[in-house]
Amino acid sequence: MTPPLLEVEDLSVRFDTDDGFVHAVDRLSFTLDTGEVLGIVGESGCGKSVTSMALVRLLPETAVVGGRVLFDGVDLLGLSSRRLRQVRGRQISYVFQEPMTSLNPVFTVGYQIGEVLRRHLGLSRAAARDRALELLRLVRIPAPERRLDDYPHQLSGGMRQRVMIAMALACDPKVLVADEPTTALDVTIQAGILDLMRDIRERLGTAIILITHNLGVVADVADRVLVMYAGRKAEESGVDDLFAHPQHPYTIGLLGAIPRPYEGEGARRRLQEIPGRVPSLRVLPTACAFADRCSRADELSRTQVPELREVRPRHFVACFHPGET
Amino acid sequence: MGGFLIRRTGAALVVLVLASMLVFLGVRAIPGDPAIALGAENRDPAVLAAVRHKYMLDRPLPVQYAHWISLAIRGDLGVDQRQLSVAHTIVTRLPITLELALLSIFVATLVGIPAGVIAAVRRGKPSDYAATAVALVGLSVPHFWLGLLMIVWFAVDLHWLPASGYVTMQHPLANLEHMLMPSLVLGAGFAAVLMRQMRSSMLASLGADYVRTARAKGLSELRVVGRHALRNSLITITTVMGLQLGALISGAVITETIFGIAGFGRLTIDAVNQRDYTLIQGVVLVAAVGYVVANLLVDVVYSLLNPRIRIG
Amino acid sequence: MSVAAETTSPADPRARRRRLLRKRFLRRPMAVGGLLVVAVFVVVAIFAPWLAPYGAGATDFNSLLAHPSSKHLLGTDELGRDVLSRVFWGARASMQVGFLSTMLAMVIAVPVGMVAGYYRGWVDTVIARLTDVLLAFPFLILAVGLAAILGPSLLNATLALGVGAVPGFVRIARGEMLALREEDYVPAAIVNGANDATIIFRHILPNMTSTLLVQATVTIPGAIVGEAVLSFLGLGVQPPTPSWGVMLQDAQSYLAQAPRLAIFPGLAIVFAALAFNVLGDGLRDVLDPRTTR
């Protein structure tokens, strides 16, 4: 059994704000194997983006991060800044949600991709340019020679995201973290990007952490899924098992909220909402965070925090009343 | 880029025309007979008649304006109280003020921009507070007062620098000696403004997504700040520079007055004190035109620097 | 990061916001200090006749250019006038010009800026050009022009400074309008039959008061310094009426003998302007949603 590529142990992130602390992530643990695609799912504010950025310490200074992030056995959270920068962009790369603002508007595409190559691989300008061209072809951008000297504002949203991906893959990283890569794009473009990600995993063997609020995206690409709620892990399992046998009432609610207009029987059923709202993150939970919105809530859920248990093979839930109904 | 520049030039032209109309009306608004005002207070009837003829004072206003403007464009701004050509006086004095302005801008940039960058990068830390405090003081200190104090200390008490006067560029060292305090004084206020603008602009850049991307790429902090953030901020700053030129003109007027420099700024005050209306008119017109043209130049520079405008 | 609001009634968010703002303000000693100093200057300006030990023009030919003493805390000037008293009296002119010119600018500029931002299109363009014309005349040049036409005076200074501050406010008001007109209550008001004027002035304007307030606190110190400049150059307050700028003018001739004649009024200007600037900065920080404390 090869050890996992990435091991996150008890990750906690706390923000120090005007009105007190906000506990964005609370004792989150998960692993990522080489070549695996892990989907992290949850609604806005559940802590998934914060988690992803905490891995290489990309959070602002107001964030207090606890726990361990073991990458190839080394704890990234304890690494010196200099060595951390050797990991960023080289071993672990990022693709962010908004390609327009994530690319620097005053530098050309070729320059921005070349920058990573020159920094990490020590390539000359000419060599970097050639490799950048290759990368643009890898992400299937048409007429790449011309695109190299274009500025971000000259490209469409989908193409910009491909550029971001090319930039992230430049040094052949072991892990690609994609934070809502398709959310800002048109639906028709989304499919193309997801195809590309599948392609990358197959051809390059890159492990991917895909963060999204869209379960459809996860179903398409991921091997395993982690469902987050209010900064904690609610459920984790292989993707097929999650969709076939969801255990946590929140997951079930999320699945029920997916519009399925073309299914036959009961196609006209109402979209199920999950009543209530996400709880305040200002205090650490002393009970199940989902209790207020859960139809299965009882005395136990309201007084104790549920711990993660394996209820099916390789399928974990943090719930006192897991089950499909 | 072409479209942007055409629009800016068009706007500048409109502004120039409107501004010249304002100056024109302003002179006509002076109580009393405009012929006396324009004729530099000479009440000799023959002279008055000549003035009336020259400026077409008996014709309707629009005709007067058109004529006056056509004269101005050709460089004829009339004669002042001492029968000297206004245009000539202005042309001889302008380079002095330009030198002062350029030196001040140089000083201000040298101090203000790095200070602003450092303050932004070390936000919340002591160096930020210190720099911001100094900038605040710089904004609050009337720089002509600073000038007076500097004269007392450096010129009168210490005899290091001359108190006043101007020496032409033919004697570069003496020229610099005389210009040092004035440009420091004029530059100080500008530096304070620049520092704050730069800090604010850098804070915005540093908070932008592309900086996060640059860090995620593993680039050194120096590169992230010095290349990615700074380039964007400097480009943004140019739009602000143009507006500051107005303040610079005002500042030049006072600075020249205190330091006894016979430049364009000083000319403005002298003109008012002597109630030389033709001179005032010429000076105000040139100042406005200068400002508009300078701003247009800034627009050109900006369009060259910003890729979003350079390449539609 | 979404933080769920825990309030239920609609009146609460506003009161809660006010309390939050007050808390944030009090957490900034500099801003509080600025506010106190501003208050001191305003009080001195209003109550100068009662606070000043001597009259504004009271001369004492027995002690000319006297050093500070128990009789004259800051000494006397070349005509034997008490410097401290003149500084107090001078505060009147400065505060007057400072506040009045800013208010003048706001009264003109805010409606104009709001109209430009609300209607956009050619109205916006026309207003933009007119504002550009104003900008082409730095306040000193304007003052020069006004002095030529009307003769120099305190009123002149107020007008020149007020007009000079107009473009700044127009830009702020326009910017705020552009953002606020997208808020939900605008179409709601339209649907309820409100006309443009009502929407602009009764619905949108109250939401930009804090930004305008910040801009005002930052414009006033400029006006105070500007008044000093104009009076110093003879374009504003005319002697013997005391104003800090006039005092500096008088002090010029005695710079070598008695630099304190220039130092004291200058310091007054610096402290007054600094207080406003610090207050304005603090307010801006407090109102900025991006600052965390």
Q: Strand A74-75 to strand A92-95: parallel, antiparallel, or no bridges (unpaired)?
A: unpaired
Q: What is the pLDDT of residue C42?
A: 92
Residues whose CB is less than 8 angstroms from the CB of residue A308 and which lie 6 or more positions away in sequence, other chains included = A233, A236, A316, A317, A318
Question: CA torsion sign, C181 to C184 to C186 to C190?
Answer: positive
Is beta strand A6-17 parallel, antiparallel or unpaired with respect to A20-32?
antiparallel
Q: What is the mean pLDDT of residues C62-77?
A: 78
Q: What confidence score (pLDDT) does residue C156 get? A: 85
Q: What does the DSSP 8-state code read for residue B171?
A: S
Tally helices (H) and strands (E) across chain B: 14, 0
- pLDDT of B114-139, one tens digit each? 999 999 998 878 888 888 888 888 88
Tokens 């769920």 found at: C4
Give pLDDT tens digits for C125-149: 999 999 988 888 888 888 878 877 7
Q: At what angle do helices C29-51 and C83-119 cross, to 10 degrees?
A: 120
Closest Cα to residue A229, out of A31, A45, A10, A67? Answer: A45
CA–CA distance, A28 with A52 (Å, rounded to integer) = 11
The answer for residues whose C-beta is within 8 angstroms of residue B52's C-beta and 6 or more apart is: B35, B58
Q: Over 60: is that where the pLDDT of C1 sits?
A: no
Q: What are the two backbone dihedrals, phi and then psi, of residue A311, each rounded to the nearest 5 degrees?
A: -100, -15
How confident is the model over C152-178, as pLDDT tens digits?
888 888 998 999 899 989 988 998 888
**Residue for token digits 């550009």?**
C132
Mean pLDDT of the C24-41 span:
89
Strands A37-41 vs A207-212: parallel, antiparallel or unpaired: parallel
Lowest mean pLDDT among A75-89, B47-61, C94-108: B47-61
Residue C86 makes CB contacts below 8 A (sequence gap 6+) with: C56, C77, C242, C247, C265
Q: Quick one: average pLDDT of B24-43?
A: 73
- The C-alpha atoms of residue C185 and residue C266 are separated, in whole angstroms, by 49
> C144 and B271 in contact by Cβ < 8 A?
yes
State which residue of chain B sits closest to A52, comparing Cα positions. B216
- With a pLDDT cut of 70, the percent of chain B lying above it is 96
Confidence of residue C8 (pLDDT cuts 50, 70, 90): very low
| pLDDT surpassing 70 at residue B312 | no
Residues C266 and B146: their CA atoms lie apart, in Å, by 9
Q: How many alpha carbons fall within 13 Å on the CB side of residue A223?
A: 17
**Nearest-angstrom CA–CA distance, A311 and B176:** 84
Residue contact B284–C128, C-beta within 8 A: no
SS3 C291: coil
Helices C83-119 & C154-180 angle (0-180, nearest 10) = 40
Of B132, B134, B135, the C-alpha closest to B119 is B132
Q: Contact B196/B116 with Cβ under 8 angstroms?
A: yes
| C contacts of A22 (beta carbons < 8 Å) | 1, 3
Q: What angle do CA C88, C90, C91 make, to 5 degrees?
A: 65
Tell me the shortest Cα–Cα distance from C245 to chain B, in angstroms. 9
Q: How confident is the model at residue C5 (pLDDT cuts 50, 70, 90)?
A: very low
Q: Is A60 on the interface with C (CB under 8 A)?
A: no
What is chain A's pLDDT, residue by residue, as a tens digit (325 residues)?
A: 678 899 999 999 998 876 778 888 988 999 999 989 999 998 887 888 899 999 999 998 888 899 999 998 899 998 998 999 999 989 999 999 888 899 999 999 999 999 999 999 988 989 999 999 999 998 889 999 999 999 999 998 889 999 999 999 999 999 999 999 888 888 888 888 888 888 888 888 899 999 998 888 888 889 999 999 888 888 999 998 888 888 888 888 888 776 666 655 555 566 667 777 777 777 777 888 887 788 787 888 888 888 888 888 888 888 888 887 6
CB contact under 8 A, B137 and C266: no
Contact B219, A93 (CB under 8 A): no
More confident of the two residues C80 and B90: B90
Averaged pLDDT for residues C231-244: 84
On the question of pLDDT at C77 being above 90, the answer is: no
Highest-scoring range by mean pLDDT, B150-154, B171-175, C213-217: C213-217
Distance from CA of C292 to the nearest CA of A (A): 5
Q: Taking residues C74-87, what's their average pLDDT?
A: 82
pLDDT of residue C11: 58
The tokens describing B174, both together, are 């003496």
Which pLDDT does position A208 carry in this prediction?
93
Compute and round to an integer the Cα radius of gyration of chain B. Answer: 24
Cβ–Cβ < 8 Å for C267, B141: no
Between vectors from CA C276 to CA C275 and to CA C278, what angle results, nearest 5°? 65
Is A22 in a helix, a strand, or coil? Answer: strand
For residues C114 and C133, give the distance between their C-alpha atoms in angstroms, rounded to a whole number: 19
At residue C228, the 3 state secondary structure works out as: helix
Residues forming a β-bridge with A88: A92
Contacts of B139 in chain C (CB under 8 A): 221, 273, 277
| Neighboring chain B residues of C277 at a CB cutoff of 8 Å | 136, 139-140
The secondary structure of chain A in percent helix, strand, coil, rounded to multiples of 5, reads 35, 25, 40
C281 touches chain B (CB under 8 A): yes
Chain position carrying tokens 């207050």: C279
Total-model pTM = 0.84
- Higher-confidence residue: C201 or B220? B220
d(CA A212, CA C282): 39
Min distance C154 CA to chain B CA atoms (Å) = 16
> Token match 């107090």: residue?
C88
A116 interfaces chain B, CB cutoff of 8 Å = yes
B-chain residue closest to A56, CA distance: B216
Q: Provide the total of helices (H) and of strands (E) in chain C, helices listed first.
A: 11, 0
Higher per-residue confidence, B47 vs A146: A146
Beta-carbon separation of B210 and A105 below 8 A: yes
Which of A88, A101, A154 shows the shortest C-beta gap to B217?
A88
How far is residue A259's CA from residue A271's CA, in Å, rounded to a whole number?
7
Smallest CA–CA separation between A278 and chain C, in Å?
7
Tell me, yes or no, if A98 comes closer than 8 A to chain B by beta carbon: yes
- Cα→Cα distances C27→A20, B122, B276, C285, C286, Å: 14, 21, 55, 11, 9
The beta-strand segments (E) located in C94-185 are none
Contact between residue B143 and residue B182 where contact means Cβ atoms under 8 Å apart:
no
Q: Residue A79 and residue A83: Cα distance in Å, rounded?
A: 6
Q: Does A283 touch chain C (CB under 8 A)?
A: no
Structure tokens at B214: 């640059």
- What's residue B23's pLDDT? 85
Tell me what pLDDT residue C110 has. 93
Q: What is the largest CA-CA distance in chain A?
A: 67
Mean pLDDT of C230-254: 85
Position C6 scores a pLDDT of 46
Q: Touching check for C277 and chain B: CB below 8 Å?
A: yes
